[in-house]
Each structure stands twice: as C-alpha cells, then as structure tokens.
Amino acid sequence: MLIGANVSMSGKAMFPGAVAEAVSYGATTLQFYTGAPQNTRRKDVSEMRIPEGLEAMDAAGLSHLVIHAPYIVNLGNTKKPENYTFAVEFMRGEVARADALHAYSMPFHPGAHVGAGADAAIAQIAQGLNEIITPEQHVTIALETMAGKGTEVGRTFEEIAAILDRVTYNEKVMVTMDTCHMSDAGYNVRDDFDGVLNEFDHVIGLDKLSIVHVNDSKNPQGSNKDRHANIGAGTIGFDALYAIAHHPQLTGLPKILETPYVGTDKKHMHAPYGVELNWLQSGNYQPDELAALAES
C-alpha cells in the first residue's frame, strides 16, 4: 500500500531527514516541498544530499517520491503579466529540482483567474505549461483538484480537462485528486466516491490520475473553503477515507496525507501522521489516540 504524508526537507538533514521522518510514521511513500511553499527561495540541488536520500528511500522500501510545487506560483493571473515570466522560469527550475531528486510526480495548484474569468486563466495556464514542460523531463506535473475558494481554477474536472487538452506534451501532465478539495468543490466524496471516480474517468480519464491527497474537510460538501481536517474529524469521515485509501482502482497510486498538526497551543504542536497512517493501514480507528497526542 503506497501511503505517506507531507514531510519536511529542511536544515542540514535535507533529503535524508525527510525520508527518516516518513519512516518514523510507518509510511511507504512521501511528499515534500523543495523549500517553503509560501515563497520561491530554493537551495541548489547540490545541497540537498540527494544520493544519501535515495539510498535511505531504497533501504526503507519507500517509493514514488512526490514533490509538491509551491502554491505561491499563479500561472492563471492574466492581470499581472509582469509576474508570468518569473512563474514560468521558477517552475522550469522546480521541474529540474524534482528530476534531480528522482521524483515520481509533482502536485501543482493550477492558479486563480483573479477576476479575469476562468477561460482566460485556463488559456494562460496551458500556455505556461507548454513553456515549462520539455519532452526530456521525467517528473510529471499533476494538476490538483481545487476547492473553488476565491477565483481558483480547477474546481471542476471540466476545468482541469480544458487545461490538459491544450498541453502539447500531454503525457507529462497528470492529475492530483484531493479529497478535501473535491468535497468542498461539491463532489460527493463521502457517500459516492465510486460515482466521483466514474465522473473523473469520463471527463479526464483515470489513466491521468497519479496522486491522491487523503484529507478530511472541516466544512460541508460544496462549501468552497479548503480547510483540511484530521482523518475522521471532518465531514468526510474515517470510513469514506479508509475506503478511498484501499480502493482497488487506486492501488498503484501514492496516497498522501496533508492533515493539520495537533496540540494544546502553537508552541506545542505534533505531526498526526504516525497515528493517522496506522488507522488507514489497519482500519483500527481510535480517535482518542489523536487527542492523547495533542495533549502530550
């Protein structure tokens, strides 16, 4: 079962440190950002300790490394054309970093139209991807399903399909499903995930799916809020998320948790992933374990 969580690659530990964190949670795959997701400052790949990280992954039996693109990049903003060239150049560098790390796929928030309308953003996002992607790259860029807050593009499968249809090297572009985002966008993830998968297959095609972000949601279906909740603590619920994690049509895909840290205050926060991954692997849901972790 390919399941893991978003971990940290930072400090002196870098890539091996991220692997060690994933191993401590009992993960079989992992995701991290190459730097802070809120900015575009990045270390050179020579500082990331890549050979050691790859060796550690192999020794621990981890595979399908996922590198998340920073969400600060907005290829869809047609109102500030001065930012477009930088966004394209940064993403070219991010693809190179992901390839150096031997990454499998890269979740990417498509962008927001900031008032110009989805059609304008979709056209520019596709244009940007056509300037970023090369036939030589190994990592695929996986457009993420979005919750629909603000002017986000990618809130429907049709919007994602419209981008995919315009990309020249289409085999280099895939899709990331986020359970929280899809529920918040109006898809019935909790009660009819098979129906959601069927709709995705008809609009986009299941062969384009490369990653599943497994997150509960703090808000009801269709809220367009994008606020992740801990597994079982939200409106999707443990049973639905467990079924998604074990869905036979998703067996070969990495499932990544991006759930909130827990704690009594901001100075005493703990990663929930060891507890939550055990629940999803075993089916033994014990919500008191997360409460105890928060109090520890």
pLDDT of residue 198: 98
The pair of three-digit structure tokens given for residue 10, joined into one six-digit string: 């930072």
Sort strands 140-144 and 111-112 into parallel, antiparallel or unpaired. Answer: unpaired
User: b/e per residue, 248-274, with b = 16+ CB within 10 A?
Assistant: eebeebbbbbbbbebbeeeeeebbbbe
Q: Which residues pair with 142 in a beta bridge?
A: 107, 174
Per the structure block, which two tokens stand in for 200? 């995705």
C-beta of residue 146 within 8 angstroms of C-beta of residue 109? yes
**Residues 141 and 95 sit within 8 Å (Cβ to Cβ):** yes
Residue 68, CA distances (Å) to 31, 90, 103, 206, 223 in order = 7, 13, 10, 21, 25
Residue 37: pLDDT over 90:
no
φ/ψ of residue 256, rounded to 5: -120, 130
Question: Is 181 labelled a binding residue?
Answer: yes
295 vs 265: CA distance, rounded Å: 10
Closest CA to 244 of 235, 234, 254: 254
pLDDT in tens, 56-78: 999 999 999 999 999 889 999 99
Question: Annotation-wise, does 246 bind a ligand?
Answer: no
Domain at 41, CATH number? 3.20.20.150
Q: pLDDT digits over 80-126, tens only?
A: 999 999 999 999 999 999 999 999 999 999 999 999 999 999 999 99
pLDDT above 90 (res 52): yes
Count of CB atoms within 10 A of residue 39's CB? 9
Please check if 199 is assigned to a binding site. no
pLDDT at 191: 98
Does residue 258 have a known ligand-binding role? yes
Task: Give the separation between CA 277 and CA 3, rounded to whole angstroms.
Answer: 7
Count of structural domains, the chain = 1
User: 0.95 cut: is pTM over it?
Assistant: yes
**228 annotated to bind ligand:** yes
Distances in Å between the Cα of 185 and the Cα atoms of 56, 63, 87, 169 are 38, 30, 26, 28
Average pLDDT over residues 39-68: 97
Residue 226 annotated as binding? yes
68 is in an annotated binding site: yes
pLDDT digits (tens, 9 = 90+) for 148-188: 999 999 999 999 999 999 999 999 999 999 999 999 999 99
| pLDDT at residue 38 is higher than 90 | no
144 labelled ligand-binding: yes
pLDDT of 128 reads 98
Domain range enclosing 18: 3-295
Residue 289 pLDDT more than 90? yes
Say if residue 247 carries a ligand binding annotation.
Answer: no
What pLDDT was estimated at residue 71? 87
